[in-house]
Structure 1
C-alpha cells in the first residue's frame, strides 16, 4: 500500500504542469541576456569604429583644403578631429597626417605631424595603394588609431584596435606644404 501511494504521488507529480513556464524561462534567460548585452557591446564598438572613420576623413579633408599650413593650424585640425570623438575620449586617439609626393618613383614624405604617435621623418618612403600616385603627384594621408576597451568588459574581453587611413588629393594646390615658422 505504501508503494502504491508513492507511485500515485509520482504519477501526479509527472502530470503536474504548474511552473513549467518558470523552468523554461530560467533555462532561456541566460541565452537571451547574453545575446542582449552582446548586441549592446557590439553596437558600442560599431559606434566607436564610425567615429574613427569619420575622424580620419575629417583630418585628411581639413588638411587637404590647405595650401601652406602652419603648425598652429595643424594643431587646430587635430583639436577639431579629437572633438569628433565625443562622447568618447578623443585624447586617447592616435592621429597622424602626412603630405606625400611621388618623386622619381618613390613615395616620399614631404612633412608629417602626429598626436599620440610618431610622425614620419621628411624623405621617408611610405607605402600607398598601387597606382594612387604618378610621378609629381601628391596626396594627404590621414591615419587614426584607437584602442577600444569594452564598456561591459565581458563580451569583448580584450581591447579592440580600430584604425582607418584616408588618402586625399590636395584641393587648392599641387602639394600641401607645412610652414616651419
Structure 2
C-alpha cells in the first residue's frame, strides 16, 4: 500500500496539466483591478483637464470685458458647464470674483458670482497667494470645482477636482459689474 501511495505521489508531482489555469486564476483578479484602475485614472485626468480649461476660459471671458452685465455673467457661467461636457454639469461649480488691492495693501472682493456654490461676500477679505495682486490693481479670480463620481467607486472612490485661475483685466484696471 505504501508503495502504491509513493507511485501516485510521484506521478502527481510530475503532472503539469492545469498549471496555466491555476496561474491565470491567481493573476486575473490583479490584472482586472489594474485595468479598472487605469481606466479610472484616465477618466479622472480627462475631467481634470476639462476643469482646468473651464477655469482658464471663464477667467479669460471676464478679463476681456470692462463691464459685465447680469446676462453676460449667466452666459459665462453656462459656458463653463458647456466646457465640462460630456461630463455631468450638475457636478460642476464655478465662482468668479473680482478682487482688488487698494494703495494701502488692503484686499477686498469687489463683486462675486457663482454657479453650484456660494458667491463671495462683497467687501470680504480673501487670502490670495503672494504676488498675485499689487497695490492699486485688481484681478479676476475663478474657482472651478467638479464632484467626480467614479464609475468604479470600489477602485478609487469619489473625489473633488478643483482649480483656481487668476487673470488681470485687459481693458481697464477693474472689471465692473453692472
Q: Structure 1 length as normaliser, TM-score?
A: 0.94
Two-structure CA RMSD over aligned residues (Å): 1.1
Residue 112 of structure 1 corresponds to 112
Q: CA deviation at 1:72?
A: 0.5
Matches of 1:112 and 1:68 in 2, distance apart? Answer: 13
Residue 143 of structure 2 corresponds to 143
Residue 49 of structure 1 corresponds to 48
SS at match of 1:127: coil
1:98 matched to 2:97? The reply is: yes
For structure 2, the residue ranges without an aligned partner over 5 or more in a row are none
Matches of 2:22 and 2:98 in 1, distance apart? Answer: 64
Runs (4 or more) in structure 1 with deviation over 3 Å come to none
Is the 1:100–1:109 contact (alpha carbons within 8 Å) kept by the matching residues of 2? yes
Q: Give deviations 1:38-96, integer Å, cap 9, x for gaps.
A: 11111111111111111111111111111101010010001111101111012321110
For structure 1, the residue ranges without an aligned partner over 5 or more in a row are none
Q: CA deviation at 1:25?
A: 1.0
Residue 71 of structure 1 corresponds to 70
Residue 170 of structure 2 corresponds to 171
Q: CA deviation at 1:125?
A: 0.9
Matches of 1:81 and 1:16 in 2, distance apart? Answer: 64
Question: How many residues are aligned here?
Answer: 177
Matches of 1:153 and 1:121 in 2, distance apart? Answer: 36
Q: Structure 2 length as normaliser, TM-score?
A: 0.95
Q: How does 1:82-93 map to 2 (within 5 A)?
A: 82-93=81-92
Q: CA deviation at 1:3?
A: 2.2
Residue 132 of structure 2 corresponds to 132
Residue 58 of structure 1 corresponds to 57
Is the 1:95–1:116 contact (alpha carbons within 8 Å) kept by the matching residues of 2? yes
